[in-house]
Amino acid sequence: MSEAAHRHPVRVYYEDTDAAGIVYYANYLKFAERARTEWLRDLGYDHRTLAGVHGVRFAVRACRIDYLRPARLDDLLEVETRVLALSGARLVLDQRVLRAGEPLCTMEIVLVALDDALRPVRIERALPPAFVAALRTPGRG
């Protein structure tokens, strides 16, 4: 859906690694979460605004992750986020963790938009048209 990717830098700290200095597998999910948060903020809709003003929050519904190469202590990584699909209450994202342009980890994240009662809500009805358009516009992903 979106051709361009949002990019978020991440430095690997000691706390992110195991005893061998390799990034612990679950921390890639944390890196992806931080990148999604900054992506939303860059679109002008942080989590607090989405929930407090629009009554919508995003929750991870599914995640498929492939670990290709290890990241190590002190590596400078970049997390790319692209929109693959938006339909109904679902937002499907492609996220990649890169080191110097080389993919280390790829993820397909399925988010669901939830209302205040934690029921699925259609994104196009619940959120401002400008936000929905930004999700659909190449170069804004």
The tens digit of pLDDT for each residue in 20-71 reads 999 999 999 999 999 999 999 999 899 999 999 999 999 999 999 999 999 9
pLDDT band at 1 (very low <50, low <70, confident <90, very high): very low
Residues sharing a CB contact under 8 Å with residue 49, sequence separation 6 or more, in sequence order: none
Give the pLDDT score at 134.
86
CA nearest 28: which of 101, 113, 99?
Answer: 99
Residues sharing a CB contact under 8 Å with residue 132, sequence separation 6 or more, in sequence order: 86, 123, 124
The pTM of this model reads 0.90
Give the pLDDT score at 3.
61
As separate numbers, helices (DSSP H) first and strands (DSSP E) second, the chain gives 4, 5
The tens digit of pLDDT for each residue in 108-135 reads 999 999 999 999 999 999 998 888 888 8
d(CA 26, CA 128): 33
Rounded (5°) CA angle 23-24-27: 90
Give the pLDDT score at 138.
55
| Catalytic residue IDs | 18
Q: Is the pLDDT of residue 78 over 50?
A: yes
What residue segments make up the domains of the chain, in order of their start? 6-136
**Pairing assessment for the beta strands 90-99 and 102-114 based on DSSP bridges:** antiparallel
Residue 62, burial from CB neighbour count under 10 angstroms (0-12, 13-18, 19+): exposed
Q: Is 6-136 a domain of CATH 3.10.129.10?
A: yes
